[in-house]
């Protein structure tokens, strides 16, 4: 794979593993974020203000791994201020980035959504993710890759320590062997698996179109 990448959210769980995949395969990339990553070559980084940026470096492909941090309770119910902050990051920032990429001639785009995302969902989190997906489809990238993971496992830059997360992960350990067939997509999944599936989709063997990644399965729609 000869593609060069922009990576938004390279310090996050999926973004960091995607960055590793690029490094392991000697792909050129630029990490774009709010702050410098101390272990990454300064020449491979760009710092931007997400509230005011108007341009981006040109690239053939891009991965957007942005997401406003939420507790397990907030995934179900958000207050007004949290809704505003979440919508700004997970919809407005993503939409703005994608529009500039399209003008720049970027061919391929990958984005992190969520299992159950739908613009018709009564849940604000899932509805926002669904609206985001819908807006990106309208931009008609050569290849659009949408990852819809369930609960993500892995070491995060800021560990998440709350009872809701503990319960979700314990439930999966106890019942994961019962989640088969159509229920397999509800299993917890490691961020590295999602990142590697996204990376695979950028390969030339995957023809232009829209790809959905649920759990560890890839399907074209």
Containing 7, the helix (H) or strand (E) segment is: strand 5-8
Residue 146: the pLDDT is: 97
Task: Indicate if the pLDDT at residue 155 is higher than 80.
Answer: no
Ramachandran class of 71: left when φ > 0, alpha when ψ lies in -120 to 50, beta otherwise: beta
Residue 184: the pLDDT is: 63
Q: What domains appear along the chain, each with residue ranges and CATH number?
A: 5-220 (3.40.50.720)
> Whole-angstrom Cα distance, residue 180 to residue 58?
42
Residue 176: the pLDDT is: 59
The SS3 of residue 191 is helix
Min mean pLDDT across 9-13, 177-181, 189-193, 202-206 is at: 177-181
In this prediction, residues 200-212 reach a mean pLDDT of 94
Number of helices (H) and strands (E), helices first, in the chain?
A: 7, 10
> Kind of pairing, strands 217-220 and 209-214?
antiparallel
Structure tokens at 75: 């995934």
Angle at CA of residue 128, ends 136 and 32, nearest 5°:
60
Residue 163: the pLDDT is: 59
Residue 174: the pLDDT is: 56
Residue 76: the pLDDT is: 86
Angle at CA of residue 183, ends 193 and 131, nearest 5°:
70
Tens-place pLDDT, residues 25-36: 999 999 999 999
Task: Please give the model's pTM, rounded to 2 decimal places.
Answer: 0.87
In this prediction, residues 140-155 reach a mean pLDDT of 89
58 contacts 104 by C-beta, under 8 angstroms: yes
> Kind of pairing, strands 29-33 and 45-47?
parallel
- The band of 214, judged by pLDDT with boundaries at 50, 70 and 90, is confident
Angle at CA of residue 12, ends 45 and 44, nearest 5°:
15
Percent of the chain with pLDDT over 90: 71
Tens-place pLDDT, residues 120-130: 999 999 999 99
Task: Indicate if the pLDDT at residue 166 is higher than 60.
Answer: no
Question: Any idea which residue has 């999966």 for tokens?
Answer: 172
CA-closest candidate to residue 59, choices 140, 136, 5, 1: 5
Containing 5, the helix (H) or strand (E) segment is: strand 5-8
Query: What single-letter DSSP state applies at residue 39?
Result: T
CA-closest candidate to residue 107, choices 133, 134, 58, 141: 141
Residue 162: the pLDDT is: 62
Sheet containing strand 209-214, strands side by side: 45-47, 29-33, 5-8, 61-64, 108-112, 143-147, 209-214, 217-220
Task: Indicate if the pLDDT at residue 205 is higher than 90.
Answer: yes
């Amino acid at each position: 794979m000869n593609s060069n990448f922009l990576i938004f959210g390279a310090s996050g769980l999926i973004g960091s593993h995607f960055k590793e995949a690029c490094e392991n395969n000697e792909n050129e990339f630029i990490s774009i974020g709010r702050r410098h990553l101390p272990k990454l070559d300064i020449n491979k980084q760009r710092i931007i203000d997400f509230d005011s940026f108007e341009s981006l470096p040109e690239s053939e492909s891009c991965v957007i791994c942005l997401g406003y941090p939420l507790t397990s309770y907030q995934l179900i119910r958000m207050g007004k201020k949290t809704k505003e902050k979440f919508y700004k990051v997970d919809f407005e920032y993503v939409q703005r980035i994608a529009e500039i990429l399209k003008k720049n001639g970027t061919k391929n785009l990958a984005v992190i959504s969520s299992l159950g995302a739908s613009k018709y969902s009564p849940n604000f989190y899932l509805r926002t993710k669904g609206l985001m997906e819908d807006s990106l489809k309208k931009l008609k990238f050569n290849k659009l890759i949408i990852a819809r993971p369930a609960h993500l496992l892995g070491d995060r830059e800021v560990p998440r320590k709350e009872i809701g997360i503990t319960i979700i992960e314990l439930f999966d350990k106890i019942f994961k062997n019962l989640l088969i067939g159509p229920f397999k997509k509800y299993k917890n999944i490691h961020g590295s698996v999602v990142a590697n599936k996204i990376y695979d989709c950028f390969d030339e063997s995957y023809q232009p179109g829209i790809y959905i990644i649920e759990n560890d399965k890839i399907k074209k729609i």
